[in-house]
């Protein structure tokens, strides 16, 4: 049901334009220079145009895409620009061909669904959970979910390893993680 709602929402240009504006608002709010995002799959918001605008504003900025090195291990993030040569990686997802590893300060995470407590529903592979649990260094990245308003639910079932996102961006609003 959430996948269908997301697919429908993603097909509406006005929703995507609004979501792109809110994504740029989130980047302005956090004022970071290094961002990890994702290559869009069916129904996922395509952040490449917004990230390209953000990159063009400063030569100090860097974007990266996740790369699955093998199942069951944390993701690596490889440098990306609009001109980066790409190749097909695991799960038939497009990844940068360069292989230059980047440690992002902020991670945009795709959401199949999300709730009012800042939790997300993904595809169930656990890649982001594993990646955040094994993040290099003491400082974890800011986590920002990207979702459509149609995929908001009152509460999601959680597991012990689930971590709420710092912010969820939709075409309608920016939802900061509520203080518990």
CATH of the domain at 91: 3.40.50.10420
Regarding pTM above 0.85, the answer is: yes
126 known ligand binder: yes
171 known ligand binder: no
**What average pLDDT score do residues 31-48 get?**
93
The secondary element (H helix, E strand) that includes residue 174 is strand 174-176
For the chain, the domain total comes to 1
Strands (E), 34-154: 34-36, 62-67, 76-80, 86-88, 94-96, 106-110, 113-115, 120-121, 142-146, 152-153
State what percent of residues in the chain have pLDDT above 70: 98
113 known ligand binder: no
What was the pLDDT predicted at 7? 79
β-pair partners for 172: none
What was the pLDDT predicted at 27? 97
148 known ligand binder: no
**The domain containing residue 162 runs over which residues?**
2-176
12 known ligand binder: no
Query: 2-21 pLDDT, tens per residue?
Result: 878 777 788 888 999 999 99
């Amino acid at each position: 049901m959430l996948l269908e709602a997301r697919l429908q929402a993603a097909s509406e240009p006005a929703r995507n334009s609004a979501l792109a504006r809110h994504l740029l608002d989130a980047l302005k709010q956090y004022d970071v220079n290094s961002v990890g995002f994702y290559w869009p799959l069916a129904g996922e918001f395509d952040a490449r145009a917004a990230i390209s605008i953000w990159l063009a504003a400063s030569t100090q900025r860097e974007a990266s895409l996740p790369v699955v090195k093998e199942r069951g291990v944390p993701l690596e993030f490889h440098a990306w620009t609009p001109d980066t040569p790409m190749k097909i990686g695991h799960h038939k997802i497009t990844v940068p061909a360069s292989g230059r590893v980047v440690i992002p300060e902020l991670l945009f995470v795709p959401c199949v669904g999300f709730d009012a407590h800042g939790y997300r529903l993904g595809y169930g592979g656990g890649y982001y959970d594993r990646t955040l649990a094994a993040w290099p260094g003491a400082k974890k990245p800011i986590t920002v979910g990207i979702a459509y308003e149609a995929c908001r639910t009152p509460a999601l079932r959680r597991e012990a390893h689930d971590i709420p996102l710092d912010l969820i961006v939709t075409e309608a609003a920016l939802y900061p993680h509520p203080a518990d």
